[in-house]
Copies of this chain bind each other. A is one copy, B any other.
Amino acid sequence: MAEKVVFYHAGCPVCVDAEQRFAGALDKNLYQVEVVHLGEQPARLDEAERAGVASVPALVMDGAVYHINHGADLSALR
């Protein structure tokens, strides 16, 4: 079964670039990617923070957080 990964972003250019690169580059046989736009879904900010996300864009895979470059701090989205 494909492992679920969550890509958090906020629509910023850095985010969109990373989304197109990474969400599309992952092996779809191994990973099922959910893309969450925290600007449009602020209700998921708490979940992202609990997962360890400090800034976007970020990818959460199996409990591990990968901050990819830097678009915006999570605090700027609240």
Contacts and interface: CB of A to CB of B under 8 A. Distances in A.
Interface of A: 17-18, 21-22, 25-28, 30-31, 61, 64-69
State how many copies of this chain the complex holds: 2
A67 B65 CA distance: 13
Contacts of A17: 64
A64 B21 contact: yes
A18 to B, nearest CB: 7
A63 to B, nearest CB: 11
A21 B66 contact: yes
A26 B68 CA distance: 15
A52 to B, nearest CB: 11
Contacts of A21: 61, 64, 66
